[in-house]
Amino acid sequence: MDFAQFQQAPVSVPTEHHSHGNRWDPYVDNGGTSLAIAGEDFVVVASDTRQSNGYSINSRYSPKAFELSNGSVLATTGYHADALKLVEHIEQRAQLYFHKHDRAMNVSAMAQMLSGILYSKRFFPYYVFPILSGLDAKGKGAVYTYDPVGNMERVNYQAYGSASALVQPFLDSQVGFKNQRNADPSRLLERPQAVKLAIDAFTGATERDIHTGDWLDLFIIDQDGIHQTKRELKHD
Amino acid sequence: MDAIKIQLPHTVQPRAENANDGAVSRTMQPIVTGTSVVAFKYKDGIMMAADTLASYGSLARFRSEKRLMAVGDNTLVGVSGDLSDFQYMQHVLEDLETRELCMDDDQTLGTKSVYKYISNIMYNRRTKVDPLWNSYVVAGLDHDEKFLGFVDLYGTRYQSPTIATGFGAHLAQPILRKRVEGREDEIEEEEALAILDDCMRVLFYRDARSFNKLRRAKVTAQGVEISEPYSLETNWDFAESIVGYGG
C-alpha cells in the first residue's frame, strides 16, 4: 500500500512532497476484476463494477466491461480513465474499418488491431489489461488476452485484475483441469457450468479482495448476440 | 464545420511552454487550494456544498472564494484542489457557454456534455503530464434524469448517487452512504439539507483546512440555485474536557 497517495490528494499543502522522485505519476490503479471463459459456441464474460482508489470506494457501479459495436465484449482492469479512452480508440478504428469495408470487424481482426493499438503506445502505455471476447469465424468462443503493451494470446479462459491471483488458479483447476489425472485440459465447459463458475469465482474474490465487489456485470455471447445481466455482490 | 479547438480567453495568458523562452512550467503541486466538495442525489435533484476558504498551505488566505459554479441552465459544478487551475477551467467553460449561445439554435448545454467536456480536458492534461490539480463534481438534471459525476486530475471519472472529494471522501462519504444510498428518490429537501449540514459540520470539526462559511447549491427541474454564504451551529463544549493531545 502506497501511503503517499493520501498526500497526492488535491487538498495536500504546498510543502508536502510526493514519493516518485519529483515527477508526478500519471497512473492510478482503480482495482476490480474481470474474467472470460470460452465455450464451444459461446463466451461468458464477467466484471465486477466497483471502482476504487486506494482504500476508498469511488463508485459501486462503474462498469469496466464494454459491449463493442461489432458484437464483441471488452473487459478491462487497471487504470479506468485509460480503459475508457482505449474503448473510444478501438471504436473509432472499428468505425473507420466499417466505412471502408462495409462490414463490421470480425473478432480476430479486432484482436489483432487491439494489439497494435496497445503497442502504438508502447512508451506511454494505456495502463489497461484487456480481455477481448466474441465468436470467431467458425462460431467458436474466442478469448484474447493482452498485457498493457500489446502482447496477445488466444486462450480458453482468463482472469485479470486485483483478484486475478485468487481467481486464475481457481479457473486453472475448474476450467483448465490443470494437474489432474485422467482429465482432458482442452475440454470446454458447458454454458451453465461456465456461468456458475464465473459467479462463484466472483463471490469468492469479493470475500477476500477489498477492491472487488458491489455488482457483477455478466455477459453471455452466442450466435444470437450478447445477453447481459447484473447480479449483486457484497457491498462491504 | 470548424475544427474543434479550445480558444483561450483573452484574459488567460498562453502557457509558458508556448512562449519562446524554451521554459516549461507545470502545476507540480497545488498552491492555493479549496478543500472538500460534498454532493448527493435526493428526491428533487442534486444537493451540493463547499466552504468558501482558499488555503495557502496551512494559511487561511482567502475566505470568501466561490467553489460552486453554474454552467448552462441546469448544470452545477463544484471544485476542490488548486483554485488557479479552477479559474482557468472557469474561463474555458464560460467560453464554451458563449460559443453555445452564439450558435443561436435554441440548443442548450446538457449536463452530460459539460461533464464529458471537463473530463476530456482533465484526461488530456494528465496525458501531457501537466494536470489541472482539481477534482470536479458535476451535477445536473436533464428531462427528469438525475446526473452526478466526478472527475479528477488523473482523468479518473465515475458516477455515483453520493460523491465527496478530498477529506470528504473519508469523513462525509460514510455518512452519505448510510443516509442516502438506496433512498435517492425518497429524501425530501428538508432532510437533504440536514444531511448536507451534518456532513459539512463533521468536516469543519475535523478538517483543519475547512471553514465555517459555506455555500450550498441544488439543481432541480427549476434550474441551478447557489446559496449565499452561511454558517453552521457548532458546539465546542467537549473541548473543556480534553486534556493533552487526546482529542
C-alpha distance from B243 to closest chain A C-alpha (Å): 28
C-alpha distance from B197 to closest chain A C-alpha (Å): 21
Residue B183 touches chain A, beta carbons under 8 Å: no
Q: How confident is the model over A95-120, as a mean pLDDT?
A: 98
100-129 of A, contacting B, C-beta below 8 A = 124
pLDDT confidence of residue A23? 83
- The question of whether B27 is a catalytic residue gets the answer yes
Residue B240's pLDDT band (cuts 50, 70, 90): confident
CB pairs under 8 A between A and B: 87
Q: Do A13 and B58 touch (CB under 8 A)?
A: yes
Residue A96's pLDDT band (cuts 50, 70, 90): very high
List the single residue in B29, B81, B167 with the smallest CB-CB distance to A14: B29
DSSP H/E element including B146: strand B145-152
| pLDDT tens profile B58-71 | 999 999 999 999 99
pLDDT confidence of residue A59? 98
Q: Do B160 and A24 touch (CB under 8 A)?
A: no
Q: How confident is the model over B217-237, as a mean pLDDT?
A: 97
- Which one is predicted more confidently, B18 or A69? A69
Residue B241's pLDDT band (cuts 50, 70, 90): confident
List the single residue in A24, A61, A81 with the smallest CB-CB distance to B123: A81
Least confident of A175-184, B20-29, B147-156: B20-29
C-alpha distance from A62 to closest chain B C-alpha (Å): 6
Residue B149 touches chain A, beta carbons under 8 Å: no
Residue B82 touches chain A, beta carbons under 8 Å: yes
| pLDDT tens profile A36-49 | 999 999 999 999 99
| 3-state SS string for A138-194 | CCCEEEEEECCCCCEEEECEEEEECCHHHHHHHHHHHCCCCCCCCCCCCCCECHHHH
Interatomic CA distance for residues A22 and B63, integer angstroms: 31
Q: How confident is the model over B208-227, as a mean pLDDT?
A: 97
Is a pLDDT exceeding 70 seen at residue A10?
no
Structural domains of chain A ordered from first start = 33-50+60-233 (3.60.20.10)
Q: B165: which chain A residues are within 8 Å (Cβ-Cβ)? A: 10
C-alpha distance from B214 to closest chain A C-alpha (Å): 17
Is a pLDDT exceeding 70 seen at residue B54?
yes
Q: How confident is the model over B109-114, as a mean pLDDT?
A: 96
Q: How confident is the model over B159-178, as a mean pLDDT?
A: 98
Residue B210 touches chain A, beta carbons under 8 Å: no
Residue A3 touches chain B, beta carbons under 8 Å: no
Q: B169: which chain A residues are within 8 Å (Cβ-Cβ)? A: 56
Cell numbers 483447476 correspond to A173
Q: How confident is the model over B131-156, as a mean pLDDT?
A: 96
The pLDDT > 70 percentage for chain A reads 91
What's the whole-number average pLDDT of chain A? 93
86-105 of A, contacting B, C-beta below 8 A = none
Is a pLDDT exceeding 80 seen at residue B243?
yes
- Which one is predicted more confidently, A85 or B242? A85
pLDDT confidence of residue B18? 52
Reported ipTM: the value is 0.89
| pLDDT tens profile B188-207 | 999 999 999 999 999 999 99
Is a pLDDT exceeding 70 seen at residue A145?
yes
Structural domains of chain B ordered from first start = 32-219 (3.60.20.10)
What's the whole-number average pLDDT of chain B? 92
Is a pLDDT exceeding 60 seen at residue B14?
no
Q: Do B57 and A14 touch (CB under 8 A)?
A: yes
Is a pLDDT exceeding 50 seen at residue B213?
yes
- Closest residue of chain B to A28, computed from CA coordinates: B154
- Closest residue of chain A to B150, computed from CA coordinates: A58
pLDDT confidence of residue B4? 61
pLDDT confidence of residue A7? 43
The full DSSP string for chain A is --THHHHTSTT--TT---SSTTS---------EEEEEEBSS-EEEEEE--EEETTEEEES----EEE-TTS-EEE--B-HHHHHHHHHHHHHHHHHHHHHHSSPPPHHHHHHHHHHHHHHTTTS---B--EEEEE-TTS-EEEEEE-TT--EEEESEEEEETTHHHHHHHHHHHTS-TT-TT--TTPPBPHHHHHHHHHHHHHHHHHH-TTS-SEEEEEEEETTEEEEEEEE----
Residue B245's pLDDT band (cuts 50, 70, 90): confident
Q: Do A13 and B165 touch (CB under 8 A)?
A: no
